[in-house]
Structure 1
């Protein structure tokens, strides 16, 4: 039981590092695309305001929520492997 708790603790820390890195990378890609979009169209208002409003929309988007799959997918896979190993 202690080994399982240690595995879950280390796994949680590693998945958190992956989640933070993936989240920051995805946000920077979105920021770059918004900046390029404003540069091409010289959109309404200032560039900074356009980018900030676009990032607010991004914060509530499905893509942002799908990044949480970093936690869900490995835990489900680990549970499946444990189940198949012990009960099949």
Structure 2
């Protein structure tokens, strides 16, 4: 059995003042590459991830889409869940 997995993660510091988006691409329990919004590029974590990272970094539209996830995904979801999480304290 082969397993391919994607994990998207938002890290918040002081509300939405400082937000970081991480996208991890995992194959058979090994992280091949990741996207870090602080870096703005895909980074290979293993030799198997190098060709994919190089290819995705060459695709400007795809790269811009990943960079926009901080606002479109993280900040948006923070606003949606804040009334049920942060504001309940």
TM range (shorter): 0.3 to 0.5
- When normalised by structure 1's length, the TM-score is 0.37
Query: Which structure is richer in relative contact order (CA contacts within 8 A, separation 6 or more)?
Result: 1
Larger radius of gyration: 1
- When normalised by structure 2's length, the TM-score is 0.37
Q: Which is richer in helix? A: 1
